[in-house]
């Protein structure tokens, strides 16, 4: 049973310090004792305390003002019934207590054999020996009342101790044994819960949980205590959700409730037990209920009246217009980009275009596939001013004439029988490149 002293760092006057401390025993059992001798105690110290007909050993689990709050919570009165602390436990006390603890497991096994021999309908779960080794408490669970008078006589004569039988519930039994829950943490009943409240299946219904016993039950075999943790939140959220006592009447059919989402405020209905579910808000459900009470049946769960053909036609035309706009904008962009490229080409002056066309035709006529024109880089240059264009065009014409004359002489010397290639029809501007032939031409030059 973990506990945290959240007032330990506060400077509380020592004069007004609460003189009752909380002591922890085996299995998470806790009790309160008075520090009469004003011993200097800290959390975790072993102490020897007074118990009826002897003494016992435990550990300090809480002290200070938090003990007062815990006593108020458990409704324990601060009176003379609270026993005292004898002293801090020494090594001899701890060794004697360890010897008494070593007797617990053999006693448990032998006691179960005796219970089976007597045929008693009870389950023995744990045994706790007192530190002075004079008394033992037997914890058991049973569905009905058990007559264990004969059992007490046999146990007392065999183990030479005083016997106390204490019946506990299944939840308390799981808390004493301990374990790991389905959430992956230590069981709540073995860490912090000491007051077990009743849990019913109504808590699972309010939270829309499936009523599966294997999932709803804990290690004790009873319903999980954590079903009550969020129950108040669900009950507050259910106040805004209408109660459905009969199906909702619509022209499409009677709508039956299938599912409710409490926090999203949505409810799912189906027409005539169909597989298709329709979700509507809680406000819409209240509206349909009011209409049914007045004798009015809406068209369906979402609409009060049937929509006309004109509205559907308008909706379809609007969708078609959206699609047309979507695809028309893309085509316009492409056309604009192409027109921009053509406009950049048209920005060149006419004189330069004419000269370029003439050079192209001459080159196509006289150049072979193995030769590459050298004036191509000049054609791709951007346009200049008018004066620069005129000078460049005159220089280009002179160079092209001289180059043509030289190439004609070479072609005549190589062979007059070779036919010139046919003119291009405008599909290609330049002959195809041939790297091998180009290298040969360079070597000839």
What is the value of pTM for the model shown? Answer: 0.57
Question: Average pLDDT for residues 271-277, to the nearest whole number?
Answer: 85
Q: Specify whether the CB–CB gap between 253 and 236 falls below 8 A.
A: no
Q: What dihedral angle (degrees, nearest 10) is formed by the CA atoms of 376, 377, 380, 383?
A: -120
Task: Name the band, by pLDDT with cuts 50, 70 and 90, for residue 158.
Answer: very high
Predicted local confidence at residue 383, as pLDDT:
46
Task: Name the band, by pLDDT with cuts 50, 70 and 90, for residue 374.
Answer: very low
Of 156, 151, 149, 108, the closest CA to residue 135 belongs to 156
Question: Average pLDDT for residues 128-149, to the nearest whole number?
Answer: 91
Report DSSP letters for 155-221, one per residue.
HHHHHTSEEEEEE--HHHHHHHH--B-TTSSB-GGGTT--SPPP--HHHHHHTT----HHHHB-TTS
pLDDT tens readout for residues 56-96: 999 998 888 888 888 988 888 888 889 999 999 999 999 99
Per-residue pLDDT for 128 more than 70?
A: yes
Question: Average pLDDT for residues 262-278, to the nearest whole number?
Answer: 88
Alpha-carbon distance values, 360 to 133, 145, 350, 399, 426 (Å): 121, 118, 15, 14, 11
Per-residue pLDDT for 135 more than 50?
A: yes
pLDDT tens readout for residues 394-442: 555 565 666 666 666 655 555 444 444 444 445 555 566 655 544 444 4
Predicted local confidence at residue 342, as pLDDT:
45
Per-residue pLDDT for 124 more than 70?
A: yes
Q: pLDDT above 90 covers what percent of the chain? A: 31
Please tell me the distance from the alpha carbon of residue 240 to that of residue 266, in angstroms, as a whole number: 11
Predicted local confidence at residue 178, as pLDDT:
86
pLDDT tens readout for residues 314-335: 777 888 888 788 777 554 455 5
Q: Specify whether the CB–CB gap between 267 and 280 falls below 8 A.
A: yes
Q: Helix, strand or coil for residue 256?
A: strand
Question: Average pLDDT for residues 147-152, to the nearest whole number?
Answer: 91
Q: Helix, strand or coil for residue 20?
A: strand
Predicted local confidence at residue 143, as pLDDT:
87
Q: Which of 165-179, 209-223, 380-394 has the lowest mean pLDDT?
A: 380-394
Sign of the CA dihedral running 369, 370, 375, 376? positive
Task: Name the band, by pLDDT with cuts 50, 70 and 90, for residue 151.
Answer: very high
Predicted local confidence at residue 328, as pLDDT:
75
Of 126, 100, 130, 129, the closest CA to residue 112 belongs to 126
CB atoms within 10 A of CB 141: 16
Q: Spell out the alpha helix ranges (H) of 280-308.
A: 282-293
pLDDT tens readout for residues 342-372: 444 444 444 444 444 444 444 444 444 444 4
Question: Average pLDDT for residues 209-236, to the nearest whole number?
Answer: 90
pLDDT tens readout for residues 281-312: 999 999 999 999 998 888 888 888 776 556 66
Q: Which of 38-47, 128-137, 181-190, 402-411 has the lowest mean pLDDT?
A: 402-411
Please tell me the distance from the alpha carbon of residue 202 to that of residue 183, in angstroms, as a whole number: 22
Average pLDDT, the chain: 77
Of 200, 197, 124, the closest CA to residue 155 belongs to 124
Per-residue pLDDT for 108 more than 90?
A: yes
């Amino acid at each position: 049973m973990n506990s945290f002293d959240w007032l330990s760092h506060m400077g509380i006057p020592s004069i007004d310090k609460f003189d009752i401390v909380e002591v922890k025993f085996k299995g998470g059992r806790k009790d309160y004792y008075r520090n009469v001798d004003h011993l200097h105690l800290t959390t975790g110290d072993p102490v020897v305390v007074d118990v009826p007909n002897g003494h016992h050993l435990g550990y300090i689990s809480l002290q200070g003002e938090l003990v007062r709050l815990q006593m108020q919570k458990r409704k324990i009165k601060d009176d003379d019934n609270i026993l005292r602390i004898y002293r801090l436990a020494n090594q001899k006390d701890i060794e004697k207590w360890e010897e008494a603890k070593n007797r617990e497991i053999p006693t448990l096994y032998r006691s179960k054999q005796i219970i089976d021999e007597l045929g008693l309908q009870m389950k023995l779960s744990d045994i706790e020996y007192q530190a002075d080794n004079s008394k033992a408490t037997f914890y058991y669970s049973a569905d009905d009342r058990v007559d264990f008078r004969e059992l007490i006589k046999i146990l007392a004569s065999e183990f030479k101790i005083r016997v106390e039988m204490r019946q506990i519930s299944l939840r308390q039994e799981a808390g004493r044994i301990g374990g790991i829950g389905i959430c992956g943490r230590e069981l709540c009943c073995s860490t912090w819960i000491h007051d077990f409240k009743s849990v019913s299946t109504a808590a699972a219904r309010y939270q829309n949980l499936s009523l599966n016993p294997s999932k709803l039950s804990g290690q004790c075999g009873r319903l999980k205590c954590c079903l009550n943790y969020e129950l108040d939140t669900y009950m507050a959220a259910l106040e805004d959700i209408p109660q459905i006592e009969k199906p909702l009447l619509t022209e499409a059919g009677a709508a039956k409730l299938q599912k409710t989402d409490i926090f999203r405020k949505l409810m799912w209905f189906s027409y005539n037990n169909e597989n298709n579910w329709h979700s509507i808000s809680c406000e819409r459900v209240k509206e349909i209920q009011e209409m049914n009470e007045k004798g009015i049946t809406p068209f369906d769960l979402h609409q009060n009246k049937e929509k006309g053909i004109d509205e559907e036609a308008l909706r379809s035309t609007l969708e078609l217009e959206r699609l047309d706009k979507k695809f028309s904008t893309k085509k316009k962009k492409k056309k604009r980009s192409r027109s921009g490229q053509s406009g950049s080409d048209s920005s060149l002056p006419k004189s330069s275009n004419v000269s370029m066309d003439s050079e192209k035709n001459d080159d196509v006529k006289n150049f072979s596939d193995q030769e590459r024109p050298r004036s191509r880089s000049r054609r791709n240059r951007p346009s200049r001013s008018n004066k620069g264009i005129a000078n460049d065009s005159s220089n280009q014409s002179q160079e092209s004439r001289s180059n043509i004359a030289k190439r004609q002489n070479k072609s005549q010397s190589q062979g007059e029988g070779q036919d010139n290639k046919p003119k291009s029809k405008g599909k290609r501007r330049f002959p195809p490149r041939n790297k091998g032939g180009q290298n040969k031409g360079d070597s000839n030059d």
